[in-house]
Amino acid sequence: MTNSPARQNSFQEPSERQIHMDQLKSVELFNGRAAMLGLLIGLGALVDGYTACRTQYLPFCF
């Protein structure tokens, strides 16, 4: 049985499913990093607002 060039190439190249899974993995990593950055920014603003009100730097703090 001889292997045709088309058959050999199909085994050497990654399948469309594998490429799609790799893309999904990289998108999930980016999404997780963006969410973590957003969380840190939100917590930073919350802490900053709390400390500013705590020390009476802002006029609208009660």
- Phi, psi (degrees; rounded to nearest 5) at 49: -65, -40
- pLDDT tens digits for range 16-60: 889 999 999 999 999 999 999 999 888 888 887 777 666 555 565
**Domain ranges for the chain:** 16-62
DSSP state of 4: P
- Using a cut of 0.75, tell me whether the model's pTM lies above it: no
3-state DSSP percent of the chain in helix, strand and coil, to 5:
75, 0, 25
Interatomic CA distance for residues 26 and 47, integer angstroms: 32
Label residue 57 exposed, middle or buried (CB < 10 Å: 0-12, 13-18, 19+): exposed
